[in-house]
Chain A
Amino acid sequence: MKKRLKAGFDFTWRDMEVGNVITEAGNAALRKTGDWRTQRPITDTEKCNKCSLCWLHCPDAAIKPLEDGYYESDLFYCKGCGICAKVCPKGAITMIEEEEK
């Protein structure tokens, strides 16, 4: 199943395990959940005070701490819900439309 997920769902019905059993544990991490996002968060490090509230509140654990103490959203998982932008006490996170550069 691992390979198939990585291959971007190009497997056929013949590749389904009996009863759709997933034989490896913890492979939900392989699934790209960020593909239905319409907005993405942008962090202004000038305003960010590294309080970690965005990291704590992200419902998908898509925000990861960086070595320099700032936080970054992993767009492979981020669904663009905007909770991080809402909870940021400094207004450092802005949600921008996906099509915007």
Chain B
Amino acid sequence: MSKRIGLEASHAAAEAARMADVDVIAAYPITPQTHIPERLAEMVANGELNAAYIPVESEHSAMSTCVGAAAVGARTFTATAGPGLEYMHNVLYVASAMRLPVIMTVANRALSAPLSIWGDHSDAMSVRDTGWIQVFCQNSQEAFDMTLWAFRVGEDAGVLLPVMVHFDGFHLTHVTEPVILPEQEEVDKFLPKFHYPFALDPDKPMTLGAYAPPDIYSEAKIAQEVALRKSKDVVIKGFEEFKNIFGRCYHAVEPYGMQEAKTLLLTMGSFSETAKVVIDERTNRGESIGLINLRLWRPFPFKELRQAVKGAETLIVFDRCISFGGPGGPVHSEIKSALYNMPRRPKVVSFVGGLGGRDVSMKDFEHVIDRGREIAENGSKGLYETVGIRGKVTDIRG
């Protein structure tokens, strides 16, 4: 029997790594991720988890250690946040290009300066193109589920790619919620033993991570790009298998509220749960409104998104990150580009808010919906509008 206990997202993710029976954990503590490696270190010290816990001196070393561990065929886990993710940035590319299925949870945190330990999606957006499979979580249960799911998908023989599981710093990492933990047998049924086909072996010498001159590099990168795009089939299959064993159902793109609504709001991560309360109230009043929770960020779910916005007149995208000097919130830009060639497409409106841990309340979502509709109808002078900023923002022009 599964059990229902109170857990914060951090401990839920650590619990998932334990139940996945990871072999190697290499992590450097950084707020708000700290509780994840802290809990795993405890588990290893207490003998609850038989793994090598490698305390490293930086995030760059953490990811480098994970690359080495995965290359010998170890089930490998790490966690980081904000500036830590930036510090390991170039090694993220190494992990994905070498096709090493490192699993990492990211407690999304703002980037300095000014120094902020609180949550937003600036860190996630900066690693958008690193070649990792990436998903976002709405709550602690999902932090557990997605972490477990990440091992299943990343280690799949047809995938062999690293997976990043994003959940909002503090809003999720430090909030205790009821989480259903499965039985170990169920986890074992879902997650087969990891078998890396090119594991380093002294008896079978191989070269991993060789250099590539200009006459090979391009072919190598296209092969990697095709592999990431093709992984979407296993991503979806992984959701289905997860549902069959644990009963909870996830999708790349998750529509909520009224079907074929005229107005749609699109959010990622913990924003979606607050937004749902507002959507519920409005649909109860008979408004034609719905929400899209974008779970799968990479590989981007183009087909699913186009399907989900069919018939909508207005699509309001609410980002938790600024794309400095760019066309609007980074998620909004991608959504716009994904829909651009559709013969009939909704008007896409961009909002940015919730930066550096700023709370976004139901009232803010009400404003975003009402003002978003107004912009869709009458246009706006700015490229995007902000939420909850003191002082009139006037100079965000194209």
Contacts and interface: CB of A to CB of B under 8 A. Distances in A.
Interface of A: 9, 11-25
Looking at chain A's contact residues, the main secondary structure is loop
Interface in B115-141: none
B97 interface: yes
Q: Which of A16, A19, A25 has the most CB of B within 10 A?
A: A19
> Which has the most chain B C-beta neighbours within 10 Å: A11, A14, A16, A24?
A16
A25 B160 contact: no
A25 B198 contact: no
Contacts of B212: 20
Contacts of A12: 219
B97 A19 contact: yes
A23 B210 CA distance: 11
Contacts of A22: 206-208, 210
A1 B117 CA distance: 48
B207 A21 contact: yes
A18 B198 contact: yes
Interface stretch (B103-111, B146-154, B220-228, B330-338): B220-228
Nearest to B218: A13
- Most chain-B Cβ atoms within 10 A of its Cβ — which of A13, A14, A24? A13
Interface in B179-225: 197-198, 205-210, 212, 215-216, 218-220, 222-223
Contacts of B97: 19-20
The 5 closest A-B pairs by CB, nearest first: A19-B99, A22-B207, A25-B205, A13-B219, A16-B223
Contacts of A15: 219
Given A17-B198, A21-B206, 11 more contacts: A9-B215, A13-B218, A13-B223, A13-B226, A18-B197, A19-B97, A20-B210, A20-B212, A22-B207, A24-B206, A25-B205
B207 A18 contact: no
B362 interface: no
Nearest to A20: B220
Contacts of B207: 21-22, 25
B100 interface: yes
Nearest to A26: B205
B98 interface: yes
Given A13-B223, A25-B205, A19 B210 contact: no
A16 B99 contact: no
A25 B208 contact: no
A23 B222 CA distance: 20
A18 B99 contact: yes
A73 B253 CA distance: 62
A19 B206 contact: no
B187 to A, nearest CB: 27
A9 B100 CA distance: 26
Nearest to A12: B219
A9 B212 CA distance: 12
A3 to B, nearest CB: 15
Nearest to A33: B213
19 contacts: A9-B215, A11-B219, A13-B219, A13-B222, A15-B219, A16-B219, A16-B220, A17-B198, A18-B99, A18-B198, A19-B98, A20-B97, A20-B216, A20-B223, A22-B206, A22-B207, A23-B198, A25-B205, A25-B207
Given A12-B219, A16-B219, A21 B208 contact: yes
A13 B219 CA distance: 4
Contacts of B220: 13, 16, 20
A16 B98 CA distance: 12
Nearest to B100: A19
Contacts of B210: 20, 22
Interface string B262-300: 000000000000000000000000000000000000000
Nearest to B221: A13
A12 B207 CA distance: 20
Nearest to B215: A9
Residue in A9, A11, A14, A21 whose Cβ sees the most chain B Cβ within 10 Å: A21
Nearest to B157: A18
A24 B222 CA distance: 23
Interface string B221-238: 011001100000000000
B219 A19 contact: no
Contacts of A20: 97-98, 209-210, 212, 216, 220, 223
